[in-house]
Amino acid sequence: MRMSARSLCIAVVLSCGGILFGCAADGPVTLTERARQIHAAGIVVDGHNDLPWQVREKADSSFDDLDLSRRQDSVQTDIPRLRAGGVDAQFWVVYVPAETDGTGLAAAQAREQFALIHEMIARHPDDLELARTAADIERIVGGGRIASLIGVEGGHMIEQDLSLLAEFHARGARYLGLTHSATIDWADSATDEPRSGGLSPFGEDVVRELNRLGMLVDLAHVSPDTMRDVLRVTTAPVISSHSGAYAVAPHSRNIPDDVLRGIRDNGGLVMVVFFSGYVDPQAARIMARNLETRRELRQQYPDEADYQEAWRRYRDARPIPAGTVRSLVDHIDHIVSVAGIDHVGLGSDYDGAGLFPRQLEDVSGFPYITQELLNRGYGEADIHKILGGNLLRVMREAEQVAAQAAIDG
């Protein structure tokens, strides 16, 4: 029987005669040799890492200035810490700010980010190799390298041109996040005002084309109505590359239970985000209020400098708690209880956010998740599903849908 951290704490108290001197659940997770072995025996897949944009912003897209072969404290990701964290397969993200929507710059900047990811992989052939299929992941990991996949974060980058999906697929993309922080013409974002009530007819065509290509539809950042529309239209399993459970942490970026059940029925996967603002319940409530406050401040302060100063004062007065490894595993527990063990994975969002739970401050922390899962009674086979086995299954099924579509013509 699996036990929550709180249940374990109560059990300890009762065994000590009901006297509470402090709960072990409040302290750090202690890594055991058993957890290390289980972690090393699985294939660990992280669904979302924004390092390429950080290289662009902090090092002018130069891997000479940001050498990933050694520890780089200006970012949360580098090869030594990927190795320390036991990360076997990483989705590197093509990110372009949502503000480029409608400017004619989004697709061009996306191509630059694809090129940067390919350059990163080429510079480290002993450690990284591009993966396009589930079989590629297994082969590359078996050879001792980190399978490097590509995801695209934001449908604004296709500039309402379905042919760009095929181009991005050819460049290595294996999922498309339909929106980022802003609603676009054909899909509503979780953190913006709705425009289509979910997907527009063109948005439905995007989903069908992704199915045909074998690219996963990524529900992270989209509104619940968009999620429901995708589940109605898609013929392949979907993912959410970095989201949590709304019932655990109430923020619009997280997934409500009815959608979790829909993802179960679809055969899809929720890859649990690590960002504290979506994981810790108190942090999620603060972040949700921040969304409303930012809109209010925008109206109150039309001058950009005045707005930024007002927002800084408001934000600094309300810091969000980091949470712990246990906060994150609470989301896994909930998704398992609603959708089942076959429908949950990991999607960190490292280098895409600023605050992460204690012991998960960078990519070296993944083994602590394995330890906490073990502490809660998960068996080795189920832990391996969460770490990466479920993502491999979803990819295979999406590849089969695309293969059948090619046969059907």
What are the phi and psi torsion angles at 252 (to 5°)?
A: -65, -15
Catalytic residue among 88, 333, 349, 362: 349
Q: Decide if 153 is catalytic.
A: yes
Q: Which two tokens stand for residue 252?
A: 């619009």
Selected catalytic residue, list 124, 242, 343, 384? 242
**119, burial (CB in 10 Å: exposed 0-12, middle 13-18, buried 19+):** middle
Name the average pLDDT for the chain: 94
**What is the tens place of the pLDDT at every residue in 108-134?**
999 999 999 999 999 999 999 999 999
Average pLDDT over residues 347-353: 98
Active-site residue, from 48, 156, 331, 343? 48
- The string of pLDDT tens digits covering residues 201-260 is 999 999 999 999 999 999 999 999 999 999 999 999 999 999 999 999 999 999 999 999
- The larger pLDDT score, comparing residue 4 to residue 224, is at 224
Options 221, 251, 331, 343, the catalytic residue: 221
The domain at 45-274+341-349+392-408 falls in which architecture? Alpha-Beta Barrel (3.20)
Domain ranges of the chain: 45-274+341-349+392-408
Asked if the model's pLDDT at residue 13 lies above 50, the reply is no
180 as an active site residue: the answer is yes
> How much is the average pLDDT of 322-347?
98
112 vs 16, more confident: 112
Average pLDDT over residues 333-345: 98
pLDDT of residue 2: 58
25 pLDDT band, cuts 50/70/90, is low
Q: Can you give the pLDDT at residue 150?
A: 99
Is residue 349 part of the annotated active site? The answer reads yes
Check if 331 is active-site.
Answer: no
* Torsion angles phi and psi, residue 140, rounded to 5: -65, -45
- For the question of residue 124 being annotated catalytic, the response is no
Furthest C-alpha separation in the chain = 70
pLDDT band at 409 (very low <50, low <70, confident <90, very high): confident
Strand partners, 200: none
The catalytically annotated residue of 180, 251, 331, 334 is: 180
Encode pLDDT of 27-82 as tens digits.
999 999 999 999 999 999 999 999 999 999 999 999 999 999 999 999 999 999 99
Confidence of residue 8 (pLDDT cuts 50, 70, 90): very low
The pLDDT tens digits for 359-406 are 999 999 999 999 999 999 999 999 999 999 999 999 999 999 999 999
pLDDT exceeds 60 at position 313 = yes
Would the pLDDT of 9 be above 70? Answer: no
Which member of 46, 78, 136, 153 is catalytic?
A: 153
Q: Is residue 169 annotated as a catalytic residue, yes or no? A: no
Give the pLDDT confidence score for residue 23 in this predicted structure.
40
Helix axes 106-123, 163-170, angle to 10 degrees: 10
145 backbone dihedrals φ, ψ, rounded to 5°? -110, 170
Share above pLDDT 70 across residues of the chain, in percent, rounded to a whole number: 94
Instruction: Name the percent of the chain lying above pLDDT 90.
Output: 92
Taken in order 242, 245, 249, 250, the sign of the CA dihedral is positive
pLDDT value of position 261: 98
Report pTM: 0.93
d(CA 168, CA 165): 5
